[in-house]
Structure 1
Amino acid sequence: MTIKLKLARVLSTAGLMMAATFASAEVVVIVNANSSLNSASSGDIQQLFLGKRNDIGGVSATPVDQAEGNEARATFYEKVVDKTPSQLNAYWSRLIFTGKGKPPKQYFDDAEVLETVLEDDEAVGYIDSASVAEGVKVIYTAQ
């Protein structure tokens, strides 16, 4: 086997492994298992995280955000809220400047969001699907 053929196989295998890794990264929206929320639409979640409402289906809800730079945050805002990081920053800058709103409190990572949702029945957060644990339920999966 030639060196070029071996290199091609190695690169091909590495590419497939990376593609599988990215394909498996899925963001889910979670609530405390005690919450009466069982599902939500992307529109409901979008309005909650943009500060346009404080409930989903009549159930009081508090958005729990992740810190800028997290992969889950980028995926969530791209797939669910339909905003890029720069669009989101501009959105909140306008609302803050006019006194019409403030962004959700940000937590460091999936673990902190999970902990917050476990402690607060009204919290609604998003995490990587691989981080889902006992005590929470998934109400939406970002597609």
Structure 2
Amino acid sequence: MHHFKLLTVALIAVILLISGNRASAQKANPAEYFKIEDYYKIKWGYSDEFIALWKKNHYPLLKKLQEKGDVISIEAETPRLHSSEESRWDLKVSVVFKTAALAFDYSIVDPYKLQLFPDQETYKKEEQRRWEIVLAHWDVTVENLPLN
């Protein structure tokens, strides 16, 4: 009887090990990656405040999605030189999602909001402030253009 229990435990361990390796071997297909560039035009004089709030309240959510595997990469850029008022932007964030479906599933961050921001009142006030100082925001979905 003891031998049977030991054999059963060993068999379960082998099955879990094999299934774990199989799951890690199933990587995302780069052909399904979906890139979105988010542009933010901020009220004059408030870009530092906006970027600080973005880093504090939005970036951690994206990092959680990256840890989970739903997001492949996150990049943020600011312009070095100025442009005309009509075409200027103050922050560009490029996010590559594993799939287009994940990119448009806005609820995927919900499980992390309470975990990362237990003081929801402060979080909501800071997010409201972040959006109060935005003059314009637009998202552009982009794809790589093969040159060969």
TM-score calculated relative to the size of structure 2: 0.32
Which one has the largest radius of gyration? Answer: 2
